[in-house]
Chain A
């Protein structure tokens, strides 16, 4: 299995597909500028993410998850 690589190792942050409201809380708190948010599209920029989890704590509708197994590359 191939995992997505974060800045500090394996990426462990996952945004649940089709559940995001594109509100921007997570983008506002991300210290690494590691989230790309378009009109109706969101993704993590792997090589910048440090798995710090701040985006998870600030998501008002709990659609970002910590996946300690690591996020599998598609």
Chain B
């Protein structure tokens, strides 16, 4: 380990690894600090991602692909199923993130970044008002390490940005509070992602079954903290399992949070940038944050590396705009659509499902499905049009 690094990345999830890799590619010194013992574990994720989202960063590899997805199934509150197939370029995967995250970290290390696990960052160093390093705990010892730039990739539980004076806590109404189990003997189509909507399954959120091969599946849900006030995610999951899979052996159980909102107002400040869940770069409509977090992190990593090479640390502040141009603005639209859908009554979900099912299966493209949904909720038209046009 060095006495001082150009860049320190806090957190070694997908975002941390991509920030480290894209910075190291610029030829600067990079160290990743991770509080957990292992990269990639515990897994707090449904593990679904589009193929395109993966392949921007790493070649697809069966080592960490548990399922190939070519269909979505949307289940309305009255249990009407709407099945939607998509073409090969829209294909997706269910990952084994335990291995995937590890492989991502390896790509960072292969470009020259270093990594130190079991290292809990608990404060920042400052040089006047500029962030100038981190304080951390390792093997029971409190230590300090200087860096020209700190990149906070510390996930939904992020605190690093707060210490730099950024407002990073998320409104409890925008937090999708999740529980998920991985269970066996779940007889679902191995190439379909299942989404359940409505008051019974997951009000102001959705319930999912994502297959992982061999009749194993991730089964979980997220509900807004507003719902959690009355009924927790765990109670919804218990009711579902009792009703549909009372005998299924449960292999793992986890809790987790998805910051389901637009990106923070400010994701950089002198000497610091925030990426991934820490910056709230999750797609607020789907709750997916692996791909968008990697995109945000790659931009921040590249800009941070350039800033050091040019010896112009102010350059880091261009990251906010670069992110907004690439995805941030689109997330604002997604967020408005999410708010529209959250307000749907069970009855409206049912009516939409019934009308979509009148479109023959072969002709049921995402575009047509949206158009049918829109006839029932015209005010969303403009927002959805923007998503497809921008």
Q: Is the CB of B37 within 8 A of A28?
A: no
Residue in contact with B177 in the complex, picked from A30, A31, A39, A59, CB distance below 8 Å: A59
Cβ distance A13 to chain B, nearest Cβ, rounded Å:
14
**Chain B 144-166 per-residue mask, 1 if CB under 8 angstroms from chain A, else 0:** 00000000000111110010000
Our count of residue pairs bridging A and B at CB distance below 8 angstroms stands at 89
By the criterion CB–CB under 8 Å, are A58 and B172 in contact?
A: yes
| Chain A interface, number of residues (Cβ within 8 angstroms) | 21
Q: Is B266's CB within 8 Å of the partner chain A?
A: no
Closest A residue to B122 by CB, please name it: A36
**Is A65 an interface residue when CB atoms closer than 8 A count as contact?**
no
Q: Is the CB of B255 within 8 A of A25?
A: yes
Q: How large is the interface on B (under 10, 10 to 19, 20 to 34, 35 or more residues)?
A: 35 or more
A61 vs B162: C-alpha distance when bound (angstroms) = 26
Contacts of A31 in B (CB 8 A): 169
A62 CA / B259 CA spacing, docked (Å) = 19
Across the two chains, which residue of chain B brings its CB closest to A57?
B229
Q: Which residues of A contact B228 (CB under 8 A)?
A: 57-60
**Minimum C-beta distance from A55 to chain B (A):** 8
Contacts known (A23-B257, A27-B159); A54 close to B36, Cβ less than 8 A: no
Residues in A with CB closer than 8 Å to B135 are: none
- Chain A residues whose C-beta falls within 8 Å of the C-beta of B156 in the assembled complex: 23-25, 27-28
Residue B336 lies at the interface, judged by CB distance under 8 Å to chain A: no
Q: Which residue from B155, B162, B177 sits with its C-beta under 8 Å from A58?
A: B177
A33, chain B: closest CB distance, angstroms: 5
Interface residues of B (CB under 8 A from A): 35-37, 44, 118, 120, 122, 137, 155-159, 162, 169-172, 175, 177-179, 225-226, 228-229, 232-235, 253-257, 259
Which A positions have Cβ atoms within 8 angstroms of B? 21, 23-25, 27-31, 33, 36-39, 54, 57-62
